Chain A
Amino acid sequence: MNLKIKYFGMLTEVTGCTEEQFPLIEGNIADVLQLLMNKYPLLKEKEFQVAQDQVIVDIKKPISQGEIALLPPFSGG
């Protein structure tokens, strides 16, 4: 199983892509963020929320097999 991660807005400039897959890991959202910040150290300086299956979640939330998205501050309208 893979973990699908999506990036939006300015975060796509940090990662250089809009989505990618990682092997599924055990743990919670904080563990996923650790993995991503190791790969993209610049993420540590960015403000963002995390959504799992399109719902904003706390970093203590366990990882599901769905889709995780990193969302910078919204700026629609």
Chain B
Amino acid sequence: MKKKHKNVFIQGAISAEFIGNSIAKHQTKTSIGAHNIFLGQVRADVIEGKEVAAIEYTAYEEMANAAFDEIREMTFDKYDLTCMHIYHSLGTVKAGEICLFVFVSSPRRKVVLEALEFVVEKVKAETAIFGKEIFEDETHQWKVNS
């Protein structure tokens, strides 16, 4: 039987309320002394005079969810984390809205500072997600990660 992977995908933008609730849920975990949060926000890049209005995300979901599981496993092996959560948008996310939310927690601050960067770089490089940058005039180009 195939391993069932946790689903990291959320349809549309990740709301500030969702992020706030996520923080609130950790207040019962009192062994935690430090959280670190990364929020990826859609940037209104201007390319040849046209401004990016939104990014439309698609993914090879089964493969990406498996990669997210692997990233989680590697990070827990490498760092002394109490918990970790990753969410990524699918579909349309407008400029200024949040498309990636990574949340790591540990008893100590140094661990979360390092762990967060490790996770975010892996997410960018290893998950089968594709962004299409939609301009105001409805033309588009495919996003390239730098």
Chain A interface residue count, CB cutoff 8 Å, equals: 14
With A51-B63, A54-B66 as contacts: A76 and B142 at CB distance below 8 Å: no
B13 at the interface (CB under 8 A from A): no
Partner of A8, one of B58, B62, B99, B144: B58
List residues 21-77 of chain A with CB under 8 A from any CB of chain B: 51, 54, 69, 71-77
Please name all residues of chain B whose beta carbon is closer than 8 Å to the beta carbon of A17 when the two chains form the complex.
none
A8 engages B128 (CB within 8 Å): yes
List residues 114-141 of chain B with CB under 8 A from any CB of chain A: 120, 123-132
Chain B interface size, under 10 / 10 to 19 / 20 to 34 / 35 or more: 20 to 34
A73 engages B62 (CB within 8 Å): no
Main secondary structure of the interface of B (DSSP, over half): mixed
Partner of B130, one of A6, A54, A72: A72
Partner of A74, one of B66, B100, B120, B130: B130
B125 engages A74 (CB within 8 Å): yes
Chain B residue with minimal CB distance to A7? B60
Partner of A76, one of B62, B63, B66, B124: B124
B83 CB to nearest chain A CB (Å) = 21
Chain A residues in the interface with B (C-beta under 8 A): 6, 8-10, 51, 54, 69, 71-77
